[in-house]
């Protein structure tokens, strides 16, 4: 592991701050001064910053309120990414669980724990995902019944799993699905002759988007929230 990455992960400071500390001769590796931030070290090396012993941080688990216009990718040449929103810590190593379209807002989970993210995204676990949809036309009973029965989407070889759909207001609907197919909610409504004007994800499994968060905000998951996908 690179020394600047080790220092960043162990302290939570951004990578450029870690590089600055190394250049300023604040970091020792196995009691030796090292000023090369790119130097590779073993994870069991004894690293100190200003005399304080550093240890690698525990895995990170975040919930983020994805705003409109950001993409769920680690890098993108045309659009800002959700990782660009992580400004108070090193975002390298974080991966995205439960991606959303560029124009869909709401709950996104981030972690550097690959096994945990696999539990979040694996279709076999069938964690429910709850969306709030603004529709072009009012929700009708036929659409509700079609969602419950499963819909054969264009280009697919099998119907969607049964989904719950209910009206929550004028041209508003709450949808709960157990899959994560490409543009699934939008395509399901389109197959029923309706159009999704706006889409927002409120929940994944037992984790609900914190109402305190504003678009672009994020916070650490609690121990209970992390455990939602460990059972």
Q: Give me the active site residues, please.
A: 101
Residues in the chain: 231
Check if the beta carbon of residue 61 is closer than 8 Å to that of residue 77.
no
8-state DSSP, 94: -
| Alpha carbon separation from 177 to 127, 148, 151, 162, 190 (Å, rounded) | 8, 10, 12, 7, 16
Q: Report residue 194 as tokens.
A: 């309706």
User: How far apart are alpha carbons 109 and 115 in whole angstroms?
Assistant: 13
């Amino acid at each position: 592991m690179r020394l600047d990455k080790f220092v960043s992960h162990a302290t939570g400071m951004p990578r450029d701050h870690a590089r600055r500390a190394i250049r300023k001769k604040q970091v020792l590796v196995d009691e030796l001064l090292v000023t090369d931030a790119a130097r590779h070290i073993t994870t069991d090396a004894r690293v100190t910053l200003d005399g304080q012993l550093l240890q690698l941080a525990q895995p990170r688990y975040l919930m983020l309120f994805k705003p409109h216009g950001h993409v769920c990718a680690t890098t993108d040449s045309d659009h800002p990414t959700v990782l660009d929103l992580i400004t108070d810590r090193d975002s390298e190593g974080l991966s995205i669980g439960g991606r959303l379209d560029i124009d869909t807002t709401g709950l996104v989970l981030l972690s550097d724990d690959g096994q945990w993210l696999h539990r979040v995204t694996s279709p076999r676990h069938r964690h429910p995902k709850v969306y709030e949809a603004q529709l072009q036309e009012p929700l009708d009973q036929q659409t509700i019944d079609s969602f419950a029965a499963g819909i054969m989407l264009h280009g697919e070889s099998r119907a969607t799993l049964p989904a719950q759909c209910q009206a929550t207001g004028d041209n508003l609907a709450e949808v709960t699905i157990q899959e994560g197919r490409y543009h699934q909610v939008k395509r399901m409504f389109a197959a029923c002759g309706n159009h999704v004007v706006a889409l927002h994800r409120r929940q994944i499994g037992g984790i609900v988007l914190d109402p305190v968060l504003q678009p672009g905000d994020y916070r650490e998951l609690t121990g209970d929230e992390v455990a939602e996908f460990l059972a």
